[in-house]
Amino acid sequence: MSEPRRIAYQGEPGSNSHMVCQRHYPALESVPCASFEDVFAAVDAASGEQSASLAMIPIDNSLAGRVADIHHFLPDSNLHIIAEHFLRIRFHLLGLPGAHLDDIRTVHSHVHALGQCRNIIREHGFTPIVSGDTAGAAREILEAGDLTQAAISPPLAASIYGLDVLATDIEDADHNTTRFVVLSPDFIQAPVDAGNVVTSFIFNVRNLPSALYKALGGFATNGVNMTKLESYMVDGEFIATQFLAEVDGHPDQPGLKRALEELAFFTTDVKLLGVYPADPARL
Catalytic residues: 178, 180
Contact yes or no for 245/270 (Cβ under 8 A): no
Q: Which of 171, 172, 183 is nearest to 274 (CA)?
A: 183
Helix intervals (H) in 45-110: 70-73
- Element of type H or E holding 66: strand 65-66
Separation CA 183–CA 82 (nearest Å): 6
Element (H, E) at 242: strand 237-248
Check: CB of residue 53 under 8 Å from CB of residue 21: no
CA 268 to chain centre: 28
Count of CB atoms situated within 10 Å of the CB of 34: 12
Cα 252 to the chain's mean position, in Å? 27
Task: Compute the distance between CA of residue 160 and CA of residue 16 in angstroms, rounded to an integer.
Answer: 13
Closest residue by Cα to residue 53 from 71, 27, 20: 27
